[in-house]
Amino acid sequence: MPKQIILKHNRHESLKRFHPWIFSGAVAKYIDKPDEGDVVDIFTADNRFIARGHYQTGSIICRVLTFEDENIDKNFWHKRISNAYKLREKSGLAQNRYTTAYRLIHGEGDMLPGLIIDIYGKIAVMQTHSTGMFCERQIICETLTEIFGSKLTAVYDKSSSTLPFNANQNVKDEYIFGNNGKNEEIILENGNKFIVNPEAGQKTGFFIDQRENRKILEQYTNKSTVLNAFCYTGGFSVSAFRGGANLVHSVDSSQKAIELAQKNIELNFDNINHQTFVEDAFSFIRNAENSFYDVIILDPPAFAKHNSALKNAIQAYKRLNAAAIAIIKPGGILFTFSCSQAVDRTNFRNAVFSAAAINKRNARILHQLTQPADHPVNIYHPESEYLKGLVLYIE
């Protein structure tokens, strides 16, 4: 029997609308104080069962796994994970000849809060963001191997950097199933090749969420000079060359990222004009030659990790975009992104609006971009929408 938490009067309203988080302020009492990561039952003030989820200390004390009175057992995991897999099959991502990397589990977007699983060819990389999910990792791994069969040779758990501060500090990243002895995998994205190293790479190893946006970039780069700022593994640089770019400058503050970007370019093209810079992107842009670039891509890391940092983050987006708009060639194309969940679409668009206005440049929105179907947004949890992008024609 899971331990029970009773909510205060009328504090179950958001649960009635299937929002999967319960905040500590809503709790009236604990019947047996649960331990970190336990499965707990949530009851309304008048003692009706309303949800079951993972308990955790902190401001979100429970992440809901189900609103039904069902056991969190093998059957549950099988149902949820195979459901997620079916959705990737439906959207044409699982078993695709030209794309072999996709997100299988996107936390709340797949009704599994706290769990991320990315598939790179035959390797699954798992990151748990809650103690509860971390405790379930073996059963999740077993379920994955059952569903995938021979399509999966290894499962790598990379939770040491994503678990909250109050979880066990001695967690180490490790293979919890298989390990073919190599730590690199070559994946395909729309036919382009990329090296993915789950052990050494940022996040799970690759930014899968820009797949469709990279494809759109190809339309705009023929015979152009391109700046890819915050390039990481060079995803947008490869797309720029695929679209016929004459020259691409890839900029990232991380030496490792730049080395990987260069390798990825070489994996896809011979004799191509790719130049790399290990540099702060802000200062690179400020020092760049005026009207040199036809196309600029800005895909910075999240500037606001929490709501408290919102104002500074918006200012940072404004400064970055203003600097890029100042130097882009008239008739140029700007691809600009924000992956900060706290910055919503309107905030971001206003920041870019101000950046264009400061420069007194005409700017027209050609595309409004977002995250792809393997990063689904749970309609009851708008927080699972995080990636926003604009493609602008700057005169």
**Residue 200, interface with ligand SAH (CB under 6 A)?**
no
# chain residues binding ligand SAH, by CB under 6 A: 20
**Does residue 281 bind ligand SAH (CB under 6 A)?**
yes
Taking the complex as a whole, the smallest distance from the CB of residue 211 to ligand SAH amounts, in Å, to 9
Q: Find residue 116's DSSP bridge partners.
A: 106, 127
Q: Closest approach of Cβ 345 to ligand SAH, in Å?
A: 19
Find the part of the chain contacting ligand SAH (CB under 6 A) among 5-13, 280-288, 356-364, 369-377.
Answer: 280-288
Q: Which amino acid is at 345?
A: R
The single residue among 191, 301, 331, 382 that binds ligand SAH, judged by CB under 6 A, is 301
Q: What dihedral do alpha carbons 347, 352, 355, 358 form, nearest 10°?
A: -80
Helices (H), 37-189: 74-90, 131-135, 137-148
| Residue of 21, 76, 134, 207 that binds ligand SAH (CB under 6 A) | 207
Name the token pair of 336: 């600009």
Q: Name 47's Cβ contacts closer than 8 Å, sequence gap at least 6.
A: 6
The least distance separating ligand SAH from the CB of residue 358, rounded to whole angstroms, comes to 20
By the rule CB under 6 A, 370 interacts with ligand SAH: no
Write out the H or E segment, with its range, that includes residue 263: helix 255-268
Say how many C-beta atoms besides its own lie within 10 A of residue 331's C-beta. 10
Q: Which of residues 216-255 bind ligand SAH (CB under 6 A)?
A: 230-233, 235-236, 251-254
Q: Which long-range contacts (CB under 8 A, 24 or more apart) does 308-312 make?
A: 309/342, 310/342, 310/343, 310/347
CA distance 20 to 66: 8
Residue 55 within binding range of ligand SAH, rule CB under 6 A:
no
Q: Give the closest residue to 103 by CA, choosing from 152, 113, 115.
A: 115
148 in contact with ligand SAH (CB under 6 A) = no
Give the residue with the Cβ less far from ligand SAH, 294 or 299. 299
Which span (2-10, 43-51, 70-78, 295-303) binds ligand SAH, by CB under 6 A?
295-303
Given 299, 332, 338, 375, the residue binding ligand SAH (CB under 6 A): 299
Residue ranges that bind ligand SAH, judged by CB under 6 A = 202, 207, 210, 230-233, 235-236, 251-254, 257, 280-282, 299-301
